[in-house]
Amino acid sequence: MDNEDDDIARAIALSLEEAQRPQPDRNATPGSDDDENEEAFQRELAAAIAASKAESETNPRTQAPPARARSISPPAPVLQPKPSAEAGPSGTSSFLTERQRMEQERLERRKRLREAGDGALGGQDDSGQSAAKRARTSPPPRQQSGPVASSSSGRTASSSQASSSNGGIFWDGELRQTANAHVDPSKDKKATFRFSDIVGPKADVSFAILSSYCNQDPWLRMMFDPSTPVILVNQPGAEGNAAVEHLCSHWVRTRPFLRNGRGAMHVKLIMIFYKDGRLRVAIPTANFVDYDWRDIENSAWVQDIPLRQTAIRHDAKATDFPATLQRVLHQLNVPAALNEHINGNHPDLPIKSVIELRMRWDWSKVKVKLVASLAGKHEGWEEVGRTGHPALMKAIQELDARANKGRSLTLECQGSSIGAYSTQWMNEFFCSARGESAKSWLDKPKTQRAKLPWPSVKIIFPTRETVKNSKLSFPGGGTMFCRKNQWEAKNFPRELFHDSKSKRGRVLMHSKMILGIFANTSSSSSGASSSSRAYKAPIDSEDEEESGDEHQSNSNIAGWAYVGSHNFTPSAWGTLSGSEGKPSLNIVNYELGIIFPLKNEQEIDAVACWERPPKKYNLKTDRAWIQDEVLNAMFGG
C-alpha cells in the first residue's frame, strides 16, 4: 500500500462501486446466473489476496509504482470460523487465511443487502457465489513416453519427476498438470508446469500478453522483469464498458465490452514474446493467483511458435488457430492496449497489430483446434458457427472426430461450476458434441426438443464428502459451485452426477475438461446402466443427409478432449434460438480452449485428470458440494 490515506480512498471507491453495481437480470439467458455470481466472489478474493501480499512487502524497492487504474482495498477484518463437528483441519496455509477473509467480506455484504430488502439475493442468486472462474486450460501429462495424440495435441509430460519443466522449448506442444503442494508424491511422478516455467527466464522476455478473470498483482509482477512491457486483460467493471488503463509505467490493463456488465471475461491466456523471435502460447485453466498454481489442481497446454523466414499475406477469411486467436484478441480489446504501449514508452514492441501473429509466425506445427466463446448475440450461421458450442462442432468436424452412423457418444464433463441445465440445452450441446449441424435441431418444434431425455453425459463434480476429505478440507472448496436450489430442483439431473477425484491424491480440481468417448452402437449397451448408456441424439435420415452427417466415422479416433476455460454451462457455451433460416446464439462469457482427437482408450485415460471410470453418486447418501451449506456456518453466515 502507498500510505494509509490511499488505503482509505481505495476502500471508499470499492464500496461505492459495489453499492452502484446493477443487480442481475432475472430474465437472463438460462444458465447465466452461475457465472454472473462469480464476479463478486472474484473481486473480493482478489482484494483479499492483493491486500495480504501488499501488506507483507517489507522492501519498498519491490513495490509496484502507484497505478493510475482503480486499486482494490483490503477486506474487512477476519472473524475466526465457528467450531463445527464437520469442519476440516485448520492448517496454516495462506490459502485458508485468504479464503476466510474473502468469506467474511462476502457474508457481510449479503447481510447488508438482506437488511436493505434487496430481492436480488433470492431465487437463483441466493448463493451469492461467484464461481471461481479459473479455467485450467490444458490436458495433463500422459503416462506413456512419446506423443499421446501426436497428430493433434503434441507431446505430453512423461518425466519421472513431478517437478517443473526442464526449461525446454515445446515446438510440438506440451500438455501437463500444474504443480501442486498437496498431491500424493506416490501418485505425482509426471512433469508439471509452474507459472514461472511457462514464462521462462525473465531476461529473455521482450513482451507479454496475459488474460485472466482475476489476478494477484504483486505475485504476477514478480514473474517478469520490471522493465518488460505487459498487456493484462481482465474483467470489465460493473457497467461492462471497454477500457484501457495504466497499472504502472510498463503494464497496461485492458477490459473488453460486456453487455450491461453481465457475464465474465473468463479467458485464460499467456503469450510470451522472446527476444530471439520465438512466441510461446499457453492456455492454462488457472487464473494468475498463487494458490491456483499451488493449492488447487489445474492444467496447461504450451506450444512455442517460430518466426517465419518470410511473412505471408493477411488472409481475412482464414479460420485456423492463429486467425481464431487474432479474433479473440480483437474482441478482448487488445489492439487498444497495443496502441497505448506503442504511443507511450514502448514504440518497438515485437508486434504493432494482432494481425501480424498469423503473418509473421509459423503455426504449421500446431495441430490442436482453438475454440472460443465470444460474449454477445450472434446471428446468422456464419457468425453462429464461429463461437460457442457450434464452433466446437466445427472443430470436431475438422478433426474428423464425428460420431456418425454406428457410433455412440458419451461425454465426461469436469468443471468447477454447475449450470442451469435443461434437457433441451443439454441435447443442443450434445448435438454439437457429436459434430452434427444444429440446423435440423432448430427446425424441430420446441415442444419436441423439450421432451427429449437426458443425453449420455456424466457431470463430474465433487461430493461434499470428497471436499471434506481433501487436503484443505471445506475451506479449500471455495472455488467449486453448485447452489442448493439447483441441486434440489425437481427436474435437476442429479442422476448424471459423478464424483470428481484427482488421480494425484486428495486435491480438488479446478480443471475444465470434456472427454467425448465413442463406442460402437452394437456394443454400447453391453454392461451399461440406463443412466450411463451411450446415447445417440435423434435425427431422421433426411436431416442426416442435409447436414452432411452421412460422412463415415474415422475408425482411428476413439474420441476427443476439450481443455480450457469453459465450464459445462450455457453461459460458457451459449444457447441457440431462432430457426434454421434465422439462427441466433446468445453467449454470456468470453472463454477459450483447445480440442484434439484421442486415438484409443489409453490416451483417453491419460488425458483425464480424474479417476476413471468416475464413480456415480449414490443419491441416497451422496450430495454435491454446496459451499454455502458449510462455509456459512464456518465463517459466521
Set of cell numbers at residue 494: 442429479
Report the alpha-carbon distance of residue 223 to residue 215 in Å, rounded: 13
d(CA 109, CA 103): 10
Peptide bond connecting 613 to the previous residue in cis, omega within 30 degrees of 0: yes
Dihedral sign, Cα of residue 102, residue 103, residue 105, residue 109 = positive
Beta carbons within 10 angstroms of residue 66's beta carbon: 11
Are 221 and 251 spatial neighbours (Cβ–Cβ below 8 Å)? Answer: yes
- Please enumerate in sequence order all residues whose Cβ is within 8 A of that of 541, keeping only pairs 6 or more positions apart, or say none: none
- Cβ(584)–Cβ(377) under 8 Å? yes
Question: Dihedral of the CA atoms 297, 269, 24, 75 (nearest 10)?
Answer: 60
For 231, the 3-state DSSP assignment is strand
The residues facing 592 across adjacent strands are 372
Task: Exactly one of 341, 346, 498, 510 is catalytic; name it.
Answer: 510
The residues facing 481 across adjacent strands are 417
- Binding-site residues for substrate, please? 268, 512
Classify residue 584 by its DSSP letter. E
State how far the Cα of 179 lies from the Cα of 183, in Å rounded to an integer: 9
Buried b / exposed e along 9-26 (16+ C-beta atoms within 10 A): ebbeebeeeeeeeeebee
All 3 cell numbers of residue 195? 507459472
Q: What's the residue count for the chain? A: 637
**How far is the C-alpha of 503 from the C-alpha of 414, rounded, in Å?**
13
389 is catalytic: no
DSSP string, 523-578: HHTTT--TTTS-B-----HHHHHHTTTTSPP-TT--EEEEEES--SSHHHH-EEEE
Residue reference for cell 504501449? 341
| Set of cell numbers at residue 152 | 493433434
Q: How far apart are CA 301 and CA 512, in angstroms?
A: 12
Q: What are the CA-CA distances from residue 373 to residues 42, 325, 383, 392, 573 (Å)?
A: 20, 11, 11, 10, 6
Catalytic residue of the set 266, 341, 378, 498: 266
- What is the C-alpha R_g of the chain? 23
Q: Which residues are catalytic?
A: 266, 510
